[in-house]
């Protein structure tokens, strides 16, 4: 991370400078650490430039001129999503910064970082990647500026963009640069995108090359935006080998086919690299919230075939599941338990280990996938679970159950938890998994995500009907009772999703009250780049069917929907009351058991309001006194100025007579 550390290794310079918007944590959950370890294992000297001061290019000169390239990433999150809430308000904390401090990365960090790399060393190739670049590789809708933006390949002026999980394509690109191949000639690597200059010919359309609607067409016509989105998602299967071309005025962006799934042995090799699993020592005792959350977790697979439309995971990690071997997972847990002691954050040899989460993008997709290899290679389905379960999908959880049984029996392992990410409709396909989960791997609460209750909205989300979730709740309660445990499900719901009307939100609140569900957290839908639901939000169309979709755009309506999903919070009383009246559901206001809220505000709220009124009254008195004092001060000042003016005008003695 510094020139001193570089020199201590006996290096005069580095091959690659990895620029990241996150604090540097040498943990496999942090992309910069994972990719840097892969490059290191490939014999490449790598410097980490974590959260550099982007106001000048000086930080980019920390290690001198890199031999091969700058690799630029905004971090584990899109920088705009990291900075702003669903209401476009600035967030108070940054989970990927020391002590949650904000302001350590710029808006649209990829653009700033690439620009500074060019300024520091103009001739050095710049490769951008990470979630921000990956999901902005083509024309996309940007919620924070409320406009359609062109590909980040053009705006960043990067030589190459690596999208998706970057270990394989990035290593290939860097090795080819090391062998003397110019960056502008490296155009055949899967999982990369590049700019096609005006002077170059466009690839002709064919069975493996499709031309998307141009940026100008998409910008002017929302139906073309929807068409573009559908084409992208229908051709994400890497085995189809589809290259996508999109014209941008006189230039074009070419996106090569996605990287092929990584075999288990290669995935095992990557996770066996010598991660310290710790933040860099330069942070001292500063806590990095994101690391505190995942430091004891184990990722057992990649990818997700659920196809939720509000999630961009399929466009980034892919739909095909890539699983680690059981031996690899066991080795990592043993390494955590036996890590050398010496700091307060490291595990002690003589202490038992609690694995906080054993999972991945979805906790129960380990070792699952298509049973028919030939069908898998031509499949264009967006979800293997929705609208119906694919008959080719393997749903037998046996390998995952064996893994769970193995890791919890390891020496010095006290508990292995699965805290979240369970796809409930998939779990119902193998009730043995639910039994195993409730008996041994639930720490009192299990977070689940029904998201909504309205059938039409759930279809737009690619989620199962709410009756499916009810069945899972019943099974979870039965198995918990049989195990002699009092355990609960924590439901996560979403407000403001396309298709959600105020009446649908009311129905969701009634469902929650009927089923005695109290939502711990309600997420407001944020239209993130590249997601199918974002296309719905922007165009008002379902990009797959072309049918119109209602979109709750007004901030007030989104606020009322969120309040309804947390109707039992006293602070939401007035919003809930307004929402019920607007939805013509005043029957839910009153003292009857089925009512959501009482006819009058809760006493605690009245006391708070009274207290607030009193504070405002006292403030008004103070403000009036300040205004009165200020008025008197200016009156006295004006009188003094008038007096001084008369003295200057009339004067006295000989000077007046001389005049």
How much is the pLDDT for 639? 72
- 284 and 146 part of one domain: no
First-residue to last-residue Cα distance in the chain:
77
Which of 139, 174, 191 delimits the end of a domain? 191
Q: Please state whether the peptide bond connecting residue 8 to the residue before it is cis, i.e. omega within 30 degrees of 0.
A: no
Whether the Cβ atoms of residue 625 and residue 617 lie closer than 8 Å to each other: no
Instruction: Kindly state whether residue 562 falls inside one of the protein's structural domains.
Output: no
Instruction: Kindly state whether residue 576 falls inside one of the protein's structural domains.
Output: no
Radius of gyration of the chain, Cα coordinates, nearest whole angstrom: 29
- 187 and 269 part of one domain: no
pTM exceeds 0.85 for this model: yes
Burial of 504 (0-12, 13-18, 19+ CB in 10 A): buried
Whether the Cβ atoms of residue 305 and residue 379 lie closer than 8 Å to each other: no
How much is the pLDDT for 443? 87
**Which residue range is the domain that position 540 belongs to?**
264-488+526-544
Whether the Cβ atoms of residue 74 and residue 38 lie closer than 8 Å to each other: no
Distance CA 587, CA 581 (A): 9
Instruction: Kindly state whether residue 204 falls inside one of the protein's structural domains.
Output: no
Instruction: Kindly state whether residue 573 falls inside one of the protein's structural domains.
Output: no
Domain count, the chain: 2
- 186 and 323 part of one domain: no
Torsion angle (degrees, nearest 10) of CA 544, 465, 321, 186: 20
- 281 and 389 part of one domain: yes
CA quadruple 214, 219, 222, 226: dihedral positive or negative? positive
> Residue 465: which of 478, 475, 451, 479 has the closest Cα?
451
How much is the pLDDT for 624? 74
- 26 and 115 part of one domain: yes
Q: What is the CATH number of the domain that holds 137?
A: 3.40.50.2300
- 441 and 531 part of one domain: yes
- 283 and 160 part of one domain: no
- 150 and 282 part of one domain: no
Which of 191, 220, 253 delimits the end of a domain? 191
- 185 and 289 part of one domain: no
How much is the pLDDT for 346? 41
Structure-token match 């302001």, residue found: 103
How much is the pLDDT for 273? 96
Instruction: Kindly state whether residue 391 falls inside one of the protein's structural domains.
Output: yes
Question: How is the beta sheet containing 243-248 ordered, strand by strand?
Answer: 46-50, 16-20, 69-73, 126-129, 160-162, 192-196, 251-255, 243-248, 209-211
Query: CB within 8 A of 608, min separation 6: which ones?
Result: none
- 158 and 291 part of one domain: no
> Residue 153: which of 165, 139, 143 has the closest Cα?
139
Instruction: Kindly state whether residue 425 falls inside one of the protein's structural domains.
Output: yes
Q: What is the CATH number of the domain that holds 401?
A: 3.80.30
- 35 and 158 part of one domain: yes
Intervals of the chain under pLDDT 50: 340-350, 649-659
How much is the pLDDT for 601? 87
Instruction: Kindly state whether residue 60 falls inside one of the protein's structural domains.
Output: yes
Burial of 304 (0-12, 13-18, 19+ CB in 10 A): buried
- 278 and 154 part of one domain: no
How much is the pLDDT for 344? 41
Which of 135, 156, 191 delimits the end of a domain? 191
- Please report, for residues 162, 164, 236, 569, 633, the alpha-carbon distance to residue 187 in angstroms, rounded to integers and kept in the order given: 11, 16, 19, 55, 74
Phi, psi of 283 (to 5 degrees): -80, -10
Instruction: Kindly state whether residue 439 falls inside one of the protein's structural domains.
Output: yes
């Amino acid at each position: 991370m510094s020139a001193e550390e570089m020199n201590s290794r006996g290096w005069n310079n580095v091959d690659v400078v990895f620029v990241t918007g996150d604090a540097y944590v040498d943990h496999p959950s942090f992309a910069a650490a994972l990719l840097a370890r892969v490059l290191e294992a490939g014999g490449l000297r790598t410097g980490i430039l974590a959260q550099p001061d982007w106001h000048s290019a000086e930080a980019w000169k920390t290690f001198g001129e890199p031999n091969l390239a700058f690799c630029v990433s905004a971090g584990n999150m899109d920088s705009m999503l990291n900075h702003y809430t669903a209401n476009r308000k600035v967030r108070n904390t940054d989970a990927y910064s020391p002590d949650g401090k904000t302001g350590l990365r710029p808006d649209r960090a990829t653009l700033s970082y690439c620009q500074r790399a060019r300024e520091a060393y103009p001739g050095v190739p710049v490769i951008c990647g990470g979630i921000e670049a990956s999901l902005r590789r083509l024309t996309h809708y940007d919620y924070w500026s409320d406009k359609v933006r062109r590909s980040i390949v053009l705006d960043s002026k990067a030589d190459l963009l690596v999208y998706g999980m970057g270990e394989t394509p990035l290593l290939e690109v860097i090795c080819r640069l090391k062998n003397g191949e110019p960056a502008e000639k490296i155009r055949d690597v899967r999982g990369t995108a590049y700019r096609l200059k005006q002077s170059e010919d466009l690839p002709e359309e064919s069975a493996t090359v499709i031309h998307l609607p141009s940026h100008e067409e998409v910008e002017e016509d929302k139906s073309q935006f929807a068409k573009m989105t559908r084409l992208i998602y229908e051709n994400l299967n890497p085995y189809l080998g589809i290259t996508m071309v999109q014209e941008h005025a006189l230039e074009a962006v070419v996106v090569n086919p996605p990287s092929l799934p990584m075999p288990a042995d290669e995935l095992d090799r990557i996770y066996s690299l010598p991660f310290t699993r710790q933040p860099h020592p330069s942070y001292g005792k500063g806590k990095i919230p994101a690391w505190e959350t995942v430091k004891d977790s184990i990722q057992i697979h990649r990818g997700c075939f659920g196809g939720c439309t509000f999630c961009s995971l399929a466009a980034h990690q892919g739909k095909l599941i890539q699983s680690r071997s059981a031996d690899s997972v066991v080795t990592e847990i043993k390494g955590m338990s036996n890590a050398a002691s010496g700091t307060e954050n490291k595990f002690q040899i003589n202490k038992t280990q609690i694995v906080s989460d054993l999972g991945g993008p979805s906790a129960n997709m380990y070792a699952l996938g298509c049973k028919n290899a030939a069908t898998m290679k031509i499949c264009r389905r967006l979800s293997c679970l929705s609208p119906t379960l694919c008959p080719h999908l393997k749903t037998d959880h046996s390998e995952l159950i064996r893994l769970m049984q193995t890791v919890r029996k390891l020496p010095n392992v006290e508990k292995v938890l699965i805290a979240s990410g369970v796809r409930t409709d998939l779990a119902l396909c193998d009730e043995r998994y639910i039994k195993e989960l409730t008996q041994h791997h639930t720490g009192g609460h299990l977070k689940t995500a029904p998201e909504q209750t309205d059938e039409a909205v759930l279809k737009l989300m690619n989620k199962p009907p709410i009756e499916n979730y009810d069945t899972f709740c019943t099974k979870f309660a039965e198995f918990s009772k049989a195990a002699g445990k009092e355990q609960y499900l924590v439901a996560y719901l979403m407000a403001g999703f396309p298709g959600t009307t105020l009446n649908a939100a009311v129905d969701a609140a009634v469902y929650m009250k009927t089923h005695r569900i109290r939502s711990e957290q309600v997420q407001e839908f944020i239209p993130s780049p590249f997601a199918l639901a974002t296309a719905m939000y922007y165009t008002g169309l379902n990009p797959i069917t072309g049918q119109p979709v209602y979109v709750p755009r007004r901030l007030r309506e989104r606020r009322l929907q969120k309040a309804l999903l947390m109707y039992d919070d006293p602070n939401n009383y007035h919003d809930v009351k307004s929402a019920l009246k607007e939805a013509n559901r005043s029957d839910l206001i009153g003292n009857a058991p089925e009512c959501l809220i009482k006819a009058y505000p809760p006493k605690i709220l009245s006391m708070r309001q009274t207290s607030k009124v009193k504070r405002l009254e006292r403030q008004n008195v103070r403000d009036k006194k300040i205004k009165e004092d200020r008025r008197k001060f200016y009156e006295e000042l004006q009188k003094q100025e008038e007096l001084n003016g008369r003295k200057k005008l009339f004067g006295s003695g000989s000077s007046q007579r001389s005049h």
